[in-house]
């Protein structure tokens, strides 16, 4: 196995997380365009965390893809790790907002919100898998708020 190929599991998990996030974004944004849910309580607040969480997933995915493509700068790994951590933190607010939305939604839309929650669960699970794979590759644990300097692999 070439050195860079060890990043494939991270790339795969991040792409899966990103796909799930696309579904969360698409379905929850659609609610702004449906008369019964235009002003659904919690949706705007949830989006305040969803948008940056999506950015961090995109950036983490791009960083992992660069590593898979053969780049090896420590700053790429640091960016990957920071973005995974940032997405994790923002996901907590996304989840809280989704519960507010579910509780406030008209009965006919509760299944839609449950579907969004399921997609968010998938996004978070795949992000955790990417995090665990990154820890295995680097041998370095994630630290709350910062990353121990990457020593290379």
Region 75-85: what's the mean pLDDT?
A: 95
Q: Report the alpha-carbon distance of residue 4 to residue 45 in Å, rounded.
A: 39
Q: Report the alpha-carbon distance of residue 36 to residue 39 in Å, rounded.
A: 8
pLDDT given at position 145: 52
Domain ranges of the chain: 3-140
Tokens of 67: 């590593």
- Does residue 113 surpass a pLDDT of 90? yes
Per-residue pLDDT tens over the stretch 9-23: 999 999 999 999 999
% pLDDT > 70, the chain: 92
pTM of this prediction exceeds 0.85: yes
CATH number of 3-140: 3.40.50.2000, 1.10.645.10, 2.60.40.60, 1.20.120.230?
1.20.120.230
């Amino acid at each position: 196995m070439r050195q860079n190929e060890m990043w494939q599991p991270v790339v795969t998990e991040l792409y899966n997380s990103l796909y799930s996030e696309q579904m969360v974004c698409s379905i929850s944004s659609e609610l702004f365009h449906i008369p019964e849910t235009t002003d659904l309580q919690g949706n705007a607040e949830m989006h305040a965390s969803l948008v940056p969480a999506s950015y961090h997933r995109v950036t983490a995915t791009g960083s992992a893809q660069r590593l898979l493509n053969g780049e090896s700068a420590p700053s790429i790994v640091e960016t990957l790790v920071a973005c995974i951590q940032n997405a994790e933190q923002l996901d907590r607010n996304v989840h809280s907002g989704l519960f507010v939305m579910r509780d406030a939604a008209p009965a006919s839309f509760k299944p839609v919100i449950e579907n969004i929650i399921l997609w968010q669960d998938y996004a978070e699970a795949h992000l955790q898998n990417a995090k665990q794979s990154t820890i295995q590759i680097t041998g370095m644990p994630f630290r709350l708020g910062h990353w121990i300097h990457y020593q290379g692999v």
